[in-house]
Structure formats: structure tokens, C-alpha cells
């Protein structure tokens, strides 16, 4: 039976409500309790202090649908978008938690029952991984659930390989941590990719859908692990990945929600091929950008605001590539509201602000995008394999091309950017600016004060009125 994204959202919450979980609303993309974290990148972020024992809740079981962003900061999937079937910048994470209540047995039972009995996934398409030493989890899958051993994979730590499976989770170098077990769906032999743990696991045949983390240790500064008095469960499942499975499509971009967005993007950009990668990127980016603005971020040149600016500019460049020579991106907001406004009323409430912020940024970058693209073409023609750092810097400084945008364009031509050279050029400019400002000590102090303001408090956005700014405070 196929299910819409909305039905999956509510089906998930209903299931866990029935198992005694309190339904907790999504928190902001801007973490309120963690200065070290740029964006909320999983459902557990709002519960971090509960795991650390610094916060108490009235419940010991919770479930949520959390809006997440993995662009910039610790998790960055921006460069995966448009290249894999399964990565977004913005996505929704379905999660359930036990705070010292149930542990491995029930966590595994619930996940399996929801996926197979409630949502009806075929059992023989599901694979699981466990941490290599976690025999308890292995036995639960093998003996109680009855998964054949050839579809249970033991995985170790893959330190330093960002996209390889890693079945040991830790919040930081010290503190709560523990093994995890992950559930994968086999999309079929016609798709390239190997099972989890194999050398070509990064293909899109076996797609990870759910991660169940068992927080059972406290890691001390010297690395030793001691058992937590009350072990916890923290799980996360990508709504879009589950929707792809339940709607019998391979890519997240083929699910209902994305297909609607992609169709509008195709109209706005006059594109007939609905599989065009740029349409996927645009559909992904309108979600990230709109929700960042909902959560108080505005385009700027640093911090979170610069991540937003980079994502907007990437979307605009894809529009340009499809032949757009004017504004279009802000018009993606209306179809997004149609798709997500019911689940996220704040999107409707802040509609005008989002639209105006996007349109202003679009007009601003529109003034230099075309010229910058011509400069890029000229540089690409005379560069063998690498765009020189000085040219990447000129694109950045004169045409407003964030360096990751330049790198992304270069990647499409099989070129790379000399990042070290770019950094050197940046550094030289900073030195020049510093030397210049030494003539007026006061203005340097003022500049430092402005520099240290959190990006979300950026107040100098042209075209927005004071009342708009109050909305985002
Ligand atoms: P992958 O290995 O596919 O990159 P991950 O191991 O980084 O995923 P987790 O950190 O375990 O993902 O997050 C829990 C779940 O959130 C994943 O199992 C997946 O369903 C979903 N998820 C993670 N990253 C993304 C993303 N960029 N876009 C959409 N869903 C995601
Ligand atoms: Mg990942
Ligand atoms: Mg993974
Ligand atoms: Mg994972």
C-alpha cells in the first residue's frame, strides 16, 4: 500500500503514541541549547541535556518529527545533493526515545513491528547492521526477530571515512555513547551498490533508513567506558527515505512531496526533463532556505546566515544553468507551503518574510551571477585541471560566488579548485583590511563587535522593515 508523506508522519507518531510515548514538537533548526552546533542535524538535539542528566522531563518515552539540516557544521551533505538518491540538506527525521526506560529489546521490536506490520515492508528486503561487539543486538535480530544471518552485518568503527558506516555513536569525545544498529532497505539488483559494510556500500542500492542508537556508556577523558546507570535509546529515520520505499520508488526525489516541487520548478525554469538534476537541487534547496528563514536565519556573510546565502546561491546557479535569466526561486515558496504548510504552520505564518528575503537575495545575486559565470567559463577554458585560488577568490570577492559554489560548478566539468590558494588570497585580503583599519582604531573595535554578533541577529538586511525583523527575533 502506498502512503503519502503526511500519512507516514502521522502513522509514525500514532504508533509510538500507542506505545506510551509523548509526542514532542520539532524544535528549531537553530539549536537553543548548544553553542557548538551550527544546526539541528538530528532529532536528539533538543534532548541532549536530558541524556547528560542536566534536564528532566515529565516523560520517559518521547517521539517526534524533527526538521533537520545537514549543510555546514558537523554533518554536511550539501555536496551529496543531486548526486545520490538519498541525501538532502533539509529533511525530516522521525525519532523515538527512551530516557532510561526501555532498551535494546523493545527498541528493536518497535522498529521492526512498525516497518513490517504497520507499514507493510517486505521482510526479505530489510538488512540490519550491528556494532561488531554488540552480541546482544545481534541475538535480538537473529533469534527474536528471525533475520537470517546473511542479512545481519557486523560493523566496526570507520573513523575518518565520513560516508562509511560507523556503528558506534558518541555525542562528543567524552560523555554518553554507545553502539547502534541500523536498518537498510534493498532497492533491488538493478541499482548499483553493495550491502552495508562492503567496499561499494556507498551506492544507492541498499539505503539506510533507520538508525537505533543505544546509549549505554559514559566515556571518560582517558577513553575508558563505564556503564550508564540508566541506558537510553535514541533513534532517527529519514521520512523521505521511508516514503521512497513505501511509494515504491527508488529516489527520495521521486516521492509525492518532491515530485510536486520538481514539477513547479520545471515550469518556472521551462525545463521539460523532470529528471534533470538541477530541478532536484532546486526542490531540495527551497526547503532548506525557507525553513532556515522560518527559524530566524537571514542571508549574511558569516555563520548560519552565510550557509543560507550559499544554499540560495547554489539554487540560483542551477536556475541559471537551466536558462533562467531573472528571478524564479522565491516563487517555489507557494508550492512548498502547499506541501508542508499543514505540518508546519510557521511556514505559512512567515510567508511574506521568507518570500521577501529570498527575492531580495535573488535580485542581489542576479546582478553578478551572469557576469561571474562568464568569468568562470573563461577561467575554466584556460585552466587544465584546477581553478587557481586567485580566480576562485576573484569570483568570491567581485561576483559573490561562495567558494563551494565555484567548486560545485568546477566539479561538473571534472575540475577542482585550489582551496589552499583560495585561502591564501582570503588571508591576504584580511591582512590588507587589517592594515587599512589600523589607521582608525575605533572602527576596528566596531568591526570586531559586529563580527562577533551571532549570525541570526544580523539586522542590516536591505529591504526588510523593522516589523519583519521582529518576526525573526
Ligand atoms: P547516510 O549514511 O545515508 O549518509 P547517516 O548514517 O549519515 O546516513 P544518521 O546520522 O544515522 O544518517 O541519521 C539517521 C537517519 O536520518 C538515516 O538513517 C537516514 O534515514 C536519515 N538521513 C540522514 N542524513 C540524511 C540526509 N542528508 N537526507 C535525508 N535523510 C537523511
Ligand atoms: Mg550521512
Ligand atoms: Mg550511514
Ligand atoms: Mg546512520
Torsion of CA 130, 90, 42, 161, to 10 degrees: 50
| Ligand 1 atom having least distance to the Cα of 236 | 14
Average pLDDT of 209-229? 93
pLDDT at 196 over 70: yes
pLDDT at 448 over 70: no
Q: Name the closest-CA residue to atom 16, ligand 1.
A: 238
Residue with cell 528532566: 56
pLDDT band (50, 70, 90) for residue 444: very low
pLDDT at residue 443 in the model: 44
| Ligand 1 atom having least distance to the Cα of 93 | 16
Please tell me if the CB atom of residue 201 comes closer than 6 angstroms to any atom of ligand 1.
Answer: no
Distances (CA, A) of 205 to 93, 125, 184, 438: 21, 11, 10, 58
Could you give the CA distance from residue 284 to residue 273 in angstroms, rounded to a whole number? 17
pLDDT at residue 275 in the model: 95
Could you give the CA distance from residue 119 to residue 37 in angstroms, rounded to a whole number? 34
Which are the contacts of 466, defined by CB distance < 8 A and separation ≥ 6?
A: none
Say if strands 206-219 and 225-238 run parallel, antiparallel, or are unpaired.
antiparallel
pLDDT at residue 440 in the model: 52
| Ligand 1 atom having least distance to the Cα of 70 | 27
- Check if the beta carbon of residue 329 is closer than 8 Å to that of residue 362: yes
Please tell me if the CB atom of residue 209 comes closer than 6 angstroms to any atom of ligand 1.
Answer: yes
Ligand 2 center from residue 163 Cα (angstroms): 6
Q: Name the closest-CA residue to atom 27, ligand 1.
A: 87
Could you give the CA distance from residue 181 to residue 167 in angstroms, rounded to a whole number? 7
Percent of the chain at pLDDT > 70 equals: 91
pLDDT at residue 24 in the model: 98
What does the pLDDT look like over 251-271, one tens digit per residue? 999 999 999 999 999 999 999
pLDDT at residue 454 in the model: 40
Ligand 2 center from residue 12 Cα (angstroms): 22
Please tell me if the CB atom of residue 93 comes closer than 6 angstroms to any atom of ligand 1.
Answer: yes
What does the pLDDT look like over 185-194, one tens digit per residue? 999 999 999 9
What does the pLDDT look like over 338-363, one tens digit per residue? 999 999 999 999 999 999 999 999 99
Please tell me if the CB atom of residue 87 comes closer than 6 angstroms to any atom of ligand 1.
Answer: yes
pLDDT at residue 152 in the model: 97
pLDDT at 466 over 60: no
Please tell me if the CB atom of residue 95 comes closer than 6 angstroms to any atom of ligand 1.
Answer: no
Please tell me if the CB atom of residue 44 comes closer than 6 angstroms to any atom of ligand 1.
Answer: no
pLDDT at residue 174 in the model: 86
pLDDT at residue 210 in the model: 98
Q: In this predicted structure, which of 40-54, 195-209, 425-439 has the lowest mean pLDDT?
A: 425-439
Pocket test for ligand 1, best of 67, 180, 211 (most atoms within 8 A of CB): 211
Indicate the helix (H) or strand (E) that contains 109.
helix 104-112
pLDDT at 34 over 60: yes
pLDDT at residue 164 in the model: 53
Ligand 4 center from residue 209 Cα (angstroms): 8
pLDDT at residue 126 in the model: 98
3-state secondary structure 280-312: HHHHHHHHHHHHHHHCCCCCCCCHHHHHHHHHH
Angle among Cα 411, 401, 417 to the nearest 5 degrees reads 35
Ligand 2 center from residue 323 Cα (angstroms): 32
Average pLDDT of 400-406? 97
Please tell me if the CB atom of residue 166 comes closer than 6 angstroms to any atom of ligand 1.
Answer: no
Please tell me if the CB atom of residue 253 comes closer than 6 angstroms to any atom of ligand 1.
Answer: no
- Check if the beta carbon of residue 9 is closer than 8 Å to that of residue 50: no
Indicate the helix (H) or strand (E) that contains 442.
helix 441-452
pLDDT band (50, 70, 90) for residue 1: low
pLDDT at 377 over 90: yes
pLDDT at residue 53 in the model: 84
Could you give the CA distance from residue 37 to residue 39 in angstroms, rounded to a whole number? 6
Ligand 1 center from residue 238 Cα (angstroms): 6
Could you give the CA distance from residue 25 to residue 63 in angstroms, rounded to a whole number? 9
Pocket test for ligand 1, best of 236, 258, 285 (most atoms within 8 A of CB): 236
pLDDT at residue 462 in the model: 35
pLDDT band (50, 70, 90) for residue 175: confident
What does the pLDDT look like over 312-327, one tens digit per residue? 999 999 999 999 999 9
pLDDT at 471 over 60: no
Q: Name the closest-CA residue to atom 4, ligand 1.
A: 163
Ligand 2 center from residue 75 Cα (angstroms): 7
- Please provide the average confidence, as pLDDT, over all residues in the chain: 90
pLDDT at 19 over 90: yes
Please tell me if the CB atom of residue 196 comes closer than 6 angstroms to any atom of ligand 1.
Answer: no
| Ligand 1 atom having least distance to the Cα of 182 | 18
Please tell me if the CB atom of residue 205 comes closer than 6 angstroms to any atom of ligand 1.
Answer: no
Burial of 380 (0-12, 13-18, 19+ CB in 10 A): middle
pLDDT at residue 350 in the model: 98
423 three-class SS: helix
Q: Name the closest-CA residue to atom 2, ligand 1.
A: 163
Ligand 2 center from residue 77 Cα (angstroms): 7
Q: Name the closest-CA residue to atom 30, ligand 1.
A: 238
How far does CA 122 lie from the centroid of its chain? 28
pLDDT at residue 439 in the model: 62
Helices (H), 325-350: 333-340, 345-349
Please tell me if the CB atom of residue 241 comes closer than 6 angstroms to any atom of ligand 1.
Answer: yes
pLDDT at residue 161 in the model: 52
Average pLDDT of 220-237? 93
pLDDT at 370 over 60: yes
3-state secondary structure 4-35: CHHHHHHHHHHHHHHCCCEECCCCCCCCCCCC
Q: Name the closest-CA residue to atom 25, ligand 1.
A: 87
pLDDT at residue 438 in the model: 72
Average pLDDT of 77-105? 96
> Higher-confidence residue: 466 or 154?
154
| Ligand 1 atom having least distance to the Cα of 252 | 29
Average pLDDT of 424-437? 90
Q: Name the closest-CA residue to atom 7, ligand 1.
A: 163
As beta bridge partners, residue 61 has 98
Ligand 2 center from residue 223 Cα (angstroms): 25
- Check if the beta carbon of residue 269 is closer than 8 Å to that of residue 329: no
pLDDT at 274 over 70: yes
Torsion of CA 95, 98, 99, 105, to 10 degrees: -140
What does the pLDDT look like over 39-90, one tens digit per residue? 999 999 999 889 888 889 999 999 999 999 999 877 899 999 999 999 999 9
| Ligand 1 atom having least distance to the Cα of 210 | 18
- DSSP E strand boundaries for 51-159: 61-69, 90-98, 126-131, 152-155
Could you give the CA distance from residue 194 to residue 213 in angstroms, rounded to a whole number? 23
As beta bridge partners, residue 22 has 62
Amino acid at each position: 500500500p502506498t502512503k503519502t508523506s503526511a500519512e507516514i508522519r502521522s502513522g509514525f507518531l500514532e504508533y509510538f503514541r500507542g506505545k506510551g510515548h509523548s509526542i514532542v514538537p520539532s524544535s528549531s533548526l537553530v539549536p537553543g541549547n548548544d553553542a557548538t552546533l551550527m544546526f539541528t542535524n538530528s532529532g536528539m538535539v533538543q534532548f541532549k541535556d536530558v541524556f547528560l542528566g542536566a534536564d528532566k522531563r515529565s516523560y520517559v518515552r518521547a517521539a517526534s518529527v524533527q526538521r533537520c539540516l545537514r549543510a555546514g557544521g558537523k554533518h554536511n551533505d550539501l555536496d551529496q545533493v543531486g548526486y545520490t538518491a538519498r541525501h538532502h540538506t533539509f529533511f525530516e527525521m522521525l525519532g523515538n526515545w527512551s530516557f532510561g526506560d526501555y532498551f535494546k529489546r523493545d527498541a528493536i521490536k518497535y522498529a521492526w513491528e512498525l516497518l513490517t506490520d504497520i507499514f507493510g515492508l517486505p521482510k526479505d528486503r530489510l538488512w540490519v547492521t550491528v556494532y561488531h561487539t554488540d552480541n546482544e543486538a545481534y541475538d535480538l535480530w537473529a533469534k527474536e526477530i528471525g533475520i537470517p544471518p546473511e542479512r545481519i552485518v557486523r560493523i566496526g568503527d570507520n573513523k575518518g571515512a565520513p560516508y562509511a558506516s560507523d556503528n558506534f555513536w558518541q555525542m562528543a569525545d567524552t560523555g554518553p555513547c554507545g553502539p547502534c544498529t541500523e536498518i537498510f532497505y534493498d532497492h533491488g539488483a538493478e541499482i548499483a551498490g553493495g550491502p552495508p559494510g562492503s567496499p561499494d556500500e556507498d551506492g544507492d542500492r541498499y539505503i539506510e533508513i533507520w538508525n537505533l542508537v543505544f546509549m549505554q556508556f559514559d566515556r571518560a577523558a582517558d577513553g575508558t567506558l563505564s556503564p550508564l546507570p540508566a541506558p537510553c535509546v535514541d533513534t532517527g529515520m529519514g521520512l523521505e527515505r521511508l516514503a521512497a520505499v513505501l511509494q515504491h520508488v527508488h529516489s527520495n526525489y521521486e516521492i509525492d512531496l518532491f515530485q510536486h516541487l520538481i514539477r513547479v520548478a520545471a515550469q518556472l525554469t521551462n525545463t521539460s526533463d523532470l529528471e534533470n538534476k538541477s530541478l532536484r537541487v532546486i526542490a531540495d534547496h527551497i526547503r532548506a532556505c525557507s525553513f532556515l528563514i522560518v527559524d530566524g536565519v537571514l542571508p549574511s556573510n558569516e555563520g548560519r546566515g552565510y550557509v543560507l546565502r550559499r544554499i540560495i546561491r547554489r539554487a540560483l546557479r542551477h536556475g541559471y544553468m537551466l536558462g533562467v535569466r531573472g528571478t524564479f526561486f522565491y516563487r517555489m515558496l507557494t508550492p512548498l507551503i502547499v506541501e508542508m504548510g499543514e505540518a508546519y504552520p510557521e511556514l505559512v505564518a512567515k510567508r511574506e518574510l521568507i518570500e521577501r528575503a529570498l527575492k531580495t537575495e535573488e535580485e542581489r545575486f542576479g546582478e553578478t551571477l551572469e557576469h561571474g559565470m562568464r568569468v568562470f567559463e573563461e577561467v575554466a577554458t584556460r585552466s587544465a585541471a584546477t581553478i587557481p585560488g586567485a580566480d576562485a577568490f576573484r569570483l568570491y570577492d567581485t561576483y559573490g560566488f561562495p567558494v563551494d559554489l565555484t567548486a560545485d560548478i568546477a566539479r561538473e566539468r571534472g575540475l577542482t579548485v585550489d582551496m589552499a590558494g583560495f585561502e591564501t588570497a582570503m588571508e591576504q585580503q584580511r591582512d590588507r583590511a587589517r592594515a587599512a583599519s589600523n589607521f582608525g582604531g575605533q572602527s576596528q573595535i566596531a568591526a570586531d563587535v559586529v563580527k562577533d554578533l551571532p549570525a541570526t541577529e544580523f539586522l542590516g538586511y536591505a529591504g526588510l522593515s523593522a516589523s519583519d525583523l521582529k518576526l525573526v527575533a
